[in-house]
Every structure is written in C-alpha cells, then in structure tokens.
Structure 1
C-alpha cells in the first residue's frame, strides 16, 4: 500500500529499455552491515594479512567464474565491468594501502578494508567527474565483496523470478549475477542511475524494461502492494501503483499490442529499406566486442557503420599485435560478406575509456585531453600497427577507415600522412591491400562542424557522433547527474550544426551518416532525413524499429519540416514539430 506521506498513485522516471510489464515487485533496500572494529596484537598482524589475501583470492575466483559462465551469453563489452573489478583486486596501490594500514593501525582487516574503501570512494566522488563517480561505485562494489568474503557471508539471491526489482541503486555485478543464475526479472525500477550508467547498458542488452531516476521510491510499501504497471514505451515512463482492474485490463491490451508490433518488426530483418517515395536509406549497425557479431547476424543490417576497435584493446593485457588485429578485422569482413560495408574506427581511448596497461596522463578534464586521434598521433607506432592490420584486412572486403575526434585539418593531414607511410611500407613488401580504401572522419567536436566544408575536401565521408558532439556544443558532460538536463541532442545549436555538416557533405556529393545514440531515435531520424542524411548506424536491436518508420516517410514532405526545425528556438519546440509529424505517419 502507499504510505500516508505519499498519496500519488503514479511515479515518473526515465525509460531505459522499452516495454510494458504488469507484475509484483520486490523492494531491495540496501542493508549495510555494521563493521566490527577491534585491535589485534603484533603477533596477529601476519594472520590478519593472510586473511585479507585469502579474501582477495576468493573475490577474484568468484568474479572469474562469473565471467566464464557469462561468456557467450552476452556481449563481451557488457562483461567489461567485471574485468574492471578484477583489475582493482590486483591493483598494487590499493592492496598495499590495506596491508600497510593493518601493520600500522593494528586493526582487524574488515575495519581497514572499510576505511580504505571509504577513503577512495570519497576521493573519487569529490572530483565531481562522472567517470570518477562511476569508479567510486566500482570500488564500493569491490569493497563489499571483499568484506563479505572476510565475514564468510555470501550473496543470497532473492526470489526475483517474474517480478519487478525496485531499489535505490543496483550494482552491475549483482545484475549480471541475477542473469547468470537464471533469474527472470520482469522489470527494474531505480531511484538512481542514468541512461549512460553500466546498469542501463546492461538492461538494454538483457532486454529488461527499466525505469530510472524515480522519485518517491521510499514512500511506497513495495512488498505489500501486489501488482504494479510499469510502462517504459516512451522516454518519460511511469509506474502505476495499486492499479484498478480497469487499468490492468487496459494495459494488458496495450501490452499485447506492443509486443505484437515488436514481433511484426521481425519481417523487416534483412530487408533493404526505401521510403514511400522510393529513396533507399542505409541502416547499418554499430559493433563493439567481436561477440556482437551474433546480434549483427540476428538483425542483418545493411552493414557495420561503426566498428569500435577500442574494445579489442580493452580486452587485452597489452597492446594487441598486428596479426591479432588483422585476424579480427578479417573475420568481421568475411562474416559480413564482400558487398556490405565495414567502417572501422581507429583507436578511441581516453575520456571514460582506459587501458590498464597504458598510463594516460592525469588530466583535470580527460574528455578534453589526450584521447582518440590525438593519442594515436602522439603514439605513431601504435597507430601504424592498427592501420597495417586494417589495410591487410581491406583486401578481403569493403573496409573503410574512420578517424575519431578530428578537430582540425592539421590532425586529418597528419593522420593521412601516417596512413600513406604505412601504405608505402606495405607496397615495398608487396603486401596486398585495397589501394582505393575510403577514409572518413567522425564529426563530434564543434570546430569540425564549423570547418566541415574544408574537411570534406580531403575525406570520402563524414560520420556524425551525436553523443560527443552534443556534450561539446553544450559544454555539458553526458555522464553527469548534475547537468544531465542540459545535455540535449534536440537543442537548436546541435540540430543546426548537424544540418550544416550534412549540407557541406552533400554539396560535394560525399556520404554523411549519423552513428551516435540519436541515430536510433525515431524523432531524430525524421530531423536527419529532412537534412538530407540517408545513412545511419545504431545498435542492432534498434534497426527494425527505425526501418518500420522509414518505410512510412515521404522524403518530399520533409522540406517543410526542415525549415521549421532550423527556425525553432528551443529543444521543446523542435520535439513538438517532430512529434506532430511522427504521429501522422505512425
């Protein structure tokens, strides 16, 4: 039942994965066990350190078993959080900090682990950087695991089958554990989190209807109210608490229709899509880890518009060798087939993406520092190794090279100069590669949009990365909870920038595509089509929904929409224009 202090029957939130669920809930309120603190004798120090080492070993073994069990079940990129936890359990600074404190303070290891974890968590949270805030959550997760092993308390999974999990927050490792144990969650409702959090990414991968940023969770007796209705079919989703029989009947009907439409989408698998006025639109998919090829095969997009090669590096213990990279690129090329395009983005490390074997400089704002093409140009040997592997694989299919985060003509020319050096070396060795391989760049910083008329002269195509482009134009970190309302891809400045880039590419009869998250949003697709963009790349699971919408659109009708969008003064005005048109075609 609802508590007296909270009388609303409807709670709002942000939808992460769409669906309609009618089910009972389980409220998982985090209970922090009080850590006992006691002194140990000098003679007991080594015994306490040994207990710590054994707890670390147990924690590592548990994570390794979970990783092994999940391999093949979900994409490698989604298990990456567990690898991060393993790295923390092997971090010499973290480990020595704890062992040294045991020796100096002569306290039991549980107390010391708790103290050190609190120190690191506080330190990272104080930096007010979303990347470090996520790191703080990871350290907290690892600390809890160590202490549980020290105390001999192991995770007892709740009876979650066919129920909706309600919590303030949810650790990614816990969600993976639930999935691995076969627990079939009907939905997830969280007070915390955001669209770019680890849990959000996992929820999308696992196909669990999820609502985040829900206020008033503590005001409901979730374990007493029976069934609720969770509706995440629109961006602003909601929960209906204690629904009436009429409401349950109404949403059962809506649920049947929703999933019926989802099933109908399957008929679009492998279909080349044309608009109502017979214009061909290319729908590619993004690829992260190599295991993602399973989803490529499942949804059969027109090609791969973004192969994020950083995952190859993040999955390695050292920089991957040329032969290793070549085999991966060749495999993806052959799986695709000769005719389908494969756009390989060169290494995009930095910002929120780190390598445990490569020390990036500590920077106040890593998103504005040494990352992406800047890192490759500073480390030409690393860059050349990757370019050689890509060029060798280009002999076997329709490969294209794309540089990330180009901000100036100088950067582009420097990258192309290194590429030409590699080509010359390969020619001398008589190694085969596609001499006519196309070169493109990501448009994701404001300077690139402003000089896109200059940049297009020296490349074969543009690909617009809406995630970074939006955050850089609006000076709003897309991972930040504090300014998340400012980060908005429908802001007039973002829309006008994308249109400018499209116009400059089209004027030179060059291809321009969108590969950011907005490429998978129906309203955004309308805007991009009105700007003349006809190539898109998105998560494989979103391709069918976008194909369905495109088939109902007449491009000749979008000229008027474009004029209205470019005159709009606010993001809300742009959304209303697009919503109105979308309602008419759907």
Structure 2
C-alpha cells in the first residue's frame, strides 16, 4: 500500500492495536478498522471521507463536509511544519532532565523518517517483515545484508533488533504450515517459537552477531515469560559465537541482551529478569492485552483495551522501579510510548527512555519540552491509586496541564 500510493484503508474486522493498524500508523497511512458491513455499505466509485483520528467513515460526503476537512488538513500540515522546527532541540524537560527518544522501525526505508525526527537511534526493529509475503525462511546472508545496511545508515547510533516474533496476528507461510492453534495469542510465538525451532532462530542470531561487528547492536527478546528462556538464549548465543569464530567470521564484542516486558508474569518478576538482562523494554500492546484478558484484534472486546487501567500502570511502574533498583535501563516501545496523552504520566512514573514510530517523535518532544517534572511523580502515583473515574480524569487533566510557566 505504501508503494502503490493508497490513500487509506478500511477493514471490517480487527482492532486499533492489531499489527496491521500499528504498521499503518508507522507508515502514515490513514486506516479505520472494525467497520462492520463496510463492503455492503460502500460501493465501487464512491467518494469516501476518512477521519482516522475519530474513526469516522463518511460515504458520499456533503460539499460543506469536504470543505471542513480540507481546512483541517491545512491546519494539520501547518502544525507538522511547526513541529519540524523542534528537530534539533534537545529532548529535555524544563528542569534539564534529558529524555531519550528512539524510533521503532519495520524496514530500512524507515531510517529516512528517523533522521527527519533526529531520533537517537532505533529502539525497536521488528524483524517479522523479513519473513512475510514469502514461502521460505530468510537465510542468514539475507538477514546480514539487511542489518548491515541499516547499521551503515545509522552511522554509529544504537540499533536494537528484536528477534523474530511470529505467531498470533503475525502469521506467515512458515507458521501456517504448523499445527493450527486454538488460541494463537497464548500459543507458540516470540521466544517460545524461536527456542523450539533452532533452524528458525540460529540463522538470525548468526547474522546479528556478524552485523554487530560493523556497529553498535542490541538484541531484544520478545514474549519472555521465564528466566530460563534468557539462560537458554545466552547459551545458544555463545554456541553461535564460537561457531562463527571457528569459521573465521568477525563478530561483535559488546552486544547487550534485553527482554520485552509484555506479559504480567514478566513484569511482576521484573527484578529477576533485570539480574539476567542488560536492559528491559516494556511492550504495552501485549502487556495491556494479557493483563486485561482481551484480544486486542477482536473488535467485539477491544473497547476494554485500557492503557490507563490501574493494573497496567502498576505493572509498568513495577518494571521501571525494578530497573532502577538493579541499575538496568528500562524503555517503552509499545504504542503507549508515542501517545501524547500518556507521556507526562509515564515521565511521572519514572520512565526516561521512549521508543515510538518516527512520525510521533516530534510531537512527543514538544510535550517533553513543556514538562516540569517536579510534581509529576506525586500526581502519577495518585492517579494509579484513585478508583473514582471523575477524580482520575481530573488528575490526568492536571498532569497534562502541568506546563512549564513562562519566564
């Protein structure tokens, strides 16, 4: 769709946090999902107005409506131009606290957008897209060439590669050949699949270790639930490293190993994972799904998807606190990290490293530049503890209104 010039798309099923919707946001393609009966109500040749922010589809819109939205487009473009002026401004609060802003990428083309926003590097590279739209598994050399190209483009900036997270809503020809799972979201995905299928995992690890000889690389493991998975991965990494050295291949020396915190059990045991890992990265998309027991791509229940649920926020804070205690960096790479409504709340909880789609970075920086940290911690703690909806709304409004005073 990105290469074919598609203006936007509508689906009859799915949720706002499905991988399809996440990718559409990253690519800047307007998308509205879960529009029941769209194919029955929309006809070929219809003029359709899409408002992705409001989730509005207007078929055969009135001329006045079109004029209104043309005006909104102009306002949006002006706002984007204003944000571009912040490109070279340091991402720090009014009290001088530096906040680290990284980009999530899906392919090497995203590096251009990362540069336009002046991100510090790549906080999350989703490697699943190397496996999609094909019948075979990418070979080691293909991985190596792709990673090397990105490393060259980054010119020394950090590059965090998430090992392949196949399964659930990221199906490929490879996963479809396996047994059909009754509940894919709770099935063989992420690190579980990788450790179970060394033929899938080892070529990627070999390529990462080789590419790391050309620039700074971190490895991020998805869907961790057990510390033993970290121990097994480290053992496999050592085996792969020894094999590459024996073959006379150059490998990276200082590669940090991190883990995704996206399962409640992992967040609760974050202090134990912090002992075994070099950094932690909170994946809010799945963390919210598993904490609230809802399928984020099921449009019948995704109205229950709530990033601000007290249980979700407690798990996030628990992870941040565990990292601080163990002196292990904690970042957030889920969609919540790039949502302007939540950035100050997360800062109040102690988060200092954010990774998000490149097109969200400058808006996030604007929020950070206007943020005074002094009172945020107390307000954020109060928000987690408050149960009354009206009082919670009032606290959140106060958090987001806590702008730096003008001198």
Matched, 1:365 2:183: yes
Q: Which residue of 2 aligns with 1:282?
A: 100
Matched ranges for 1:179-190 at <5 A: 179=5
Per-residue displacement from partner, 1:204-239 (whole Å, max 9, x unpaired)? 46746666668999xx9xxxxx999x8766x68798
CA shift, 1:503, in A, is: 0.2
1:387/1:419 contact within 8 Å kept: yes
The verdict on how the C-alpha distance between 1:207 and 1:453 changes in structure 2, with shifts beyond 3 A counting, is: closer
- Counterpart-to-counterpart distance in 2, 1:188 and 1:351: 22
1:491/1:570 contact within 8 Å kept: no
Q: Structure 2: 5+ residue runs without aligned partners?
A: 42-46
1:285/1:538 contact within 8 Å kept: yes
Matched, 1:350 2:171: no
- Counterpart-to-counterpart distance in 1, 2:105 and 2:244: 28
Q: Which residue of 2 aligns with 1:307?
A: 125
Q: Which residue of 1 aligns with 2:16?
A: 195
TM-score normalised according to structure 1 size: 0.61
Per-residue displacement from partner, 1:96-125 (whole Å, max 9, x unpaired)? xxxxxxxxxxxxxxxxxxxxxxxxxxxxxx
- Higher relative CO (Cα under 8 Å, sequence separation at least 6) belongs to 2
The verdict on how the C-alpha distance between 1:553 and 1:317 changes in structure 2, with shifts beyond 3 A counting, is: same
Q: Which residue of 1 aligns with 2:158?
A: 341
Higher Rg: 1
Match of 2:201 among 354, 366, 383: 383
- Counterpart-to-counterpart distance in 2, 1:205 and 1:384: 29
CA shift, 1:192, in A, is: 6.8
TM-score normalised according to structure 2 size: 0.86
Q: Structure 1: 5+ residue runs without aligned partners?
A: 1-69, 75-175, 221-225
- Counterpart-to-counterpart distance in 2, 1:567 and 1:496: 9
Q: Which residue of 2 aligns with 1:450?
A: 268
Residue 330 of structure 2 aligns to a residue whose secondary structure is strand
Q: Which residue of 1 aligns with 2:353?
A: 535
- Counterpart-to-counterpart distance in 1, 2:330 and 2:19: 30
2:376/2:399 contact within 8 Å kept: no
Matched, 1:522 2:340: yes
Per-residue displacement from partner, 1:294-352 (whole Å, max 9, x unpaired)? 333433321111011111122443111111111111111110111x1110001111111
CA shift, 1:557, in A, is: 2.4
2:18/2:169 contact within 8 Å kept: no
Q: How many residues align?
A: 398
Q: Which residue of 2 aligns with 1:479?
A: 297
1:305/1:537 contact within 8 Å kept: yes
- Counterpart-to-counterpart distance in 2, 1:549 and 1:237: 27
Residue 281 of structure 2 aligns to a residue whose secondary structure is strand
- Counterpart-to-counterpart distance in 2, 1:383 and 1:571: 46
The verdict on how the C-alpha distance between 1:259 and 1:390 changes in structure 2, with shifts beyond 3 A counting, is: same
Matched, 1:409 2:233: no
Matched ranges for 1:17-166 at <5 A: 74=3
Residue 522 of structure 1 aligns to a residue whose secondary structure is coil
Match of 1:585 among 399, 403, 406: 403
Q: Which residue of 1 aligns with 2:44?
A: none
- Counterpart-to-counterpart distance in 2, 1:397 and 1:558: 37
- Counterpart-to-counterpart distance in 2, 1:213 and 1:380: 37
The verdict on how the C-alpha distance between 1:364 and 1:254 changes in structure 2, with shifts beyond 3 A counting, is: closer
Match of 1:493 among 289, 299, 311: 311
Residue 354 of structure 1 aligns to a residue whose secondary structure is coil
Residue 318 of structure 1 aligns to a residue whose secondary structure is coil
The verdict on how the C-alpha distance between 1:489 and 1:431 changes in structure 2, with shifts beyond 3 A counting, is: same
Per-residue displacement from partner, 1:111-153 (whole Å, max 9, x unpaired)? xxxxxxxxxxxxxxxxxxxxxxxxxxxxxxxxxxxxxxxxxxx
